Every structure is written in C-alpha cells, then in structure tokens.
Amino acid sequence: MVYKANVPIVVGYIDYYKKKQMKFKSVIQNTSDMKRTITEISQMYKNVIAKYPKDLILDKRYSYFFIK
C-alpha cells in the first residue's frame, strides 16, 4: 500500500522507560522491496523495549535478528 501511494515510512517509538519521549529512528523512502523494507524496520526496533514487550510483534520471516 505504501509503495503504491508513493509515501515514505517514518519509523519511530516512544521511550517509556527512560525519558517518556517520542523518538524517530529513520525515514524509509524506497519501499519497492517488501522484504528489504521489513528487514530494515525489524533492525531499527531490535534494541527498543516495548511498553508491553509480549505485544511487540515483528515479522520474523524477514529478519535474521531473531534466528538463534
């Protein structure tokens, strides 16, 4: 959907544990390759602790970060 709309993806998060601030990781302009885009997003979130960690779901099919 993002690719067809020709809009960027803004990747951000809220830091609940340190300063309770909203932070931005990056802007992804080229979304033509879904596998690459999802891998980029997964990499950006790999060191982020969610407010409810059990509810954070990243698509593990596209990310080598979750293979152990």
- pLDDT tens digits, one per residue of 3-40: 577 788 899 988 777 777 888 889 988 878 888 888 88
| Res. 63: pLDDT tops 80 | no
Q: How far apart are CA 27 and CA 61, in angstroms?
A: 22
- Rounded CA gap, 21 and 15, in Å? 5
